[in-house]
Amino acid sequence: MKNADLAELLGLAALWGASFLFVRMGAAEFGPVALAALRVIGAALFLMPLLALRKELGALRRHWRAIFVVGITNSALPFLLFAYAALSITAGLSAIFNAASPLFGALIAWLWLKDKLTPARVAGLVIGFAGVLWLAWDKASFKSGGSGWATVACISAALLYGFSASLTKRHLSGVAPMAVAAGSQLAAALVLALPAALWWPSVAPSGQAWLTMTLLAVLCTGVAYLLFFRLIAHVGPGNAIAVTFLIPAFAVLWGWLFLDERIGVSMVAGCAVILLGTGQATGLLKWPHGRPARAG
């Protein structure tokens, strides 16, 4: 990987890590529904003109049905779920649960697309999901004011991301990535517009909340999509998915710097187990093989 590609990978991880910070900062004032809606509306307004400049609107028109579904499962619902979770759990913890998305992706691809699972990848799935269950068991509480439903929301969002990966592979392979990115944000905006109007905050959000929302929409969603698809084109999807390992670190860092969030030993351990399993299940990490015996 070239230095420029590595810099883009780090930049993407920093942006997606910051998205959990901005969601945490904006969810209380906007509410989950309005914040998720404004996020995708802003991203669509940023990406659609770029799609038109690239003269790829035709791809969106031809594949709009599949792109619309991806917009729901990969943006509208996960963004809403993470915004809901941000009301009661830290940005870092949300990002750690998000790191389980490739685990669900590998499992769903095996069940739906019949992707081959080697024994090593199966071991990775077992390890990764064990980390998710361990962390959820440690952090979730369904008592009044607890974080149980927030934990369920994060895991559900990760499941939706995993489903969307297989859906995209099944129905949108070969479609211009910018058409999928811009079209999915437009679809999510259409889906969330009416609910956002119905659940608009009764108290006007502050200027800081609007700034947070704008950064979330433009930088952490619009620009991040551009970087992600550039990385896929330059280094391939297998290397681009390495961003999964870096997002929790940046989310924890931003949460500590700007929100004074603390991270405990159980969170670090759970994150390490999830990422170990993710790396093994996706093939990014491989167990070292013994050296072949030399002939005598």
3-state percent breakdown (helix, strand, coil) of the chain, nearest 5: 80, 0, 20
What pLDDT shows up at residue 280?
85
Which of 49, 25, 64, 85 is closest to 207 using CA atoms?
A: 25
Question: For the chain, how big is the Rg over CA atoms in Å?
Answer: 19
Is residue 294 in some structural domain? Answer: no
Is residue 107 in some structural domain? Answer: yes
Q: How far apart are CA 88 and CA 145, in angstroms?
A: 8
| Residues near 146 by beta carbon (within 8 Å), at least 6 away in sequence | 88, 140
Is residue 290 in some structural domain? Answer: no
Which of 157, 179, 153 is closest to 168 using CA atoms?
A: 179
Which of 212, 225, 219, 237 is closest to 185 using CA atoms?
A: 225
Is residue 97 in some structural domain? Answer: yes
Is residue 252 in some structural domain? Answer: yes
What pLDDT shows up at residue 296?
44
Is residue 289 in some structural domain? Answer: no
What pLDDT shows up at residue 287?
62
Is residue 218 in some structural domain? Answer: yes
Domain residues for 101? Answer: 3-282
What pLDDT shows up at residue 207?
96
Please count the structural domains in the chain.
Answer: 1
Work out the burial of residue 294: count CB atoms within 10 Å of its CB; fewer than 13 is exposed, 13-18 middle, 19 or more buried.
exposed
Which of 22, 31, 85, 82 is closest to 214 using CA atoms?
A: 22
Is residue 181 in some structural domain? Answer: yes
Q: How far apart are CA 275 and CA 127, in angstroms?
A: 9
Taking only the tens of pLDDT, the chain with its 296 residues reads 678 888 888 999 999 999 999 999 999 999 999 999 999 999 999 999 999 999 999 999 999 999 999 999 999 999 999 999 999 999 999 999 999 998 998 899 999 988 888 898 899 999 999 989 888 887 777 766 668 899 999 999 999 999 998 998 899 988 988 999 999 999 999 999 999 999 999 999 999 999 999 999 999 999 998 888 888 777 766 667 778 888 999 999 999 999 999 888 888 888 999 989 888 887 777 665 555 545 44
Q: How far apart are CA 131 and CA 136, in angstroms?
A: 8
- For the CA atoms of 114, 116, 118, 121, what is the dihedral angle to 10 degrees? -70
